């Protein structure tokens, strides 16, 4: 009699349970899919923020590099002008050394000329002696 108390479900009841199970499965799968999509959206947002920050940093680096290149160009121009000035000074010193040397020679010749003239004057003019 105990077996008579247990009722067996009908095919309609089994089909209804399968349909209900399928609905619950689809609902859970949709929730999982939504959560996965939300996580991917969050990941995409974070990646976009990272990409934006990285682009900004590279832009700042490029600006810094450009300013550095400009400063080096100015320094090279300054160095070129300085080299030109030193070249001019070196040439001027060379000329000054040449002029100094020729002046020494001229002064030596002038002193020699004065000595000769003094000797001739002494010979020609009597110097009174007391």
Whether the model clears a pTM of 0.85, i.e. scores above it, the answer is no
Helix (H, G, I), strand (E, B) or coil at 129: coil
Would you give the DSSP letter of residue 6? S
- What is residue 6's predicted lDDT score, i.e. its pLDDT? 73
Q: What is the domain partition of the chain in residue ranges?
A: 10-124
Which residues of the chain fall below pLDDT 50?
A: 1
The C-alpha atoms of residue 70 and residue 76 are separated, in whole angstroms, by: 10
Please report the pLDDT score of residue 80 as a whole number: 95
User: pLDDT tens-digit profile of 39-73?
Assistant: 999 999 999 999 999 999 999 999 999 999 999 99
Instruction: Tell me how far CA of residue 24 lies from CA of 1, 12, 28, 82, in angstroms.
Output: 36, 18, 6, 86
- pLDDT reported for residue 7: 75
CA distance 39 to 121: 120
Chain centre distance of CA 88? 34
């Amino acid at each position: 009699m105990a077996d008579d108390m247990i009722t067996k479900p009908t095919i309609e009841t089994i089909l209804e349970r399968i349909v209900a199970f399928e609905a619950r499965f689809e609902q859970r799968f949709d929730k999982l899919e939504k959560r996965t999509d939300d996580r991917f959206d969050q990941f995409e947002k974070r990646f976009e923020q990272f990409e934006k920050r990285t682009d900004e940093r590279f832009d700042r680096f490029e600006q810094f590099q450009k300013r550095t290149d400009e400063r080096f160009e100015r320094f090279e121009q300054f160095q070129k002008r300085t080299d030109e000035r030193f070249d001019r000074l070196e040439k001027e010193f060379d000329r000054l050394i040449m002029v100094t040397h020729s002046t020494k020679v001229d002064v030596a010749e002038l002193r020699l000329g004065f000595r000769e003239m003094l000797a001739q004057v002494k010979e020609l003019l009597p110097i009174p002696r007391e």
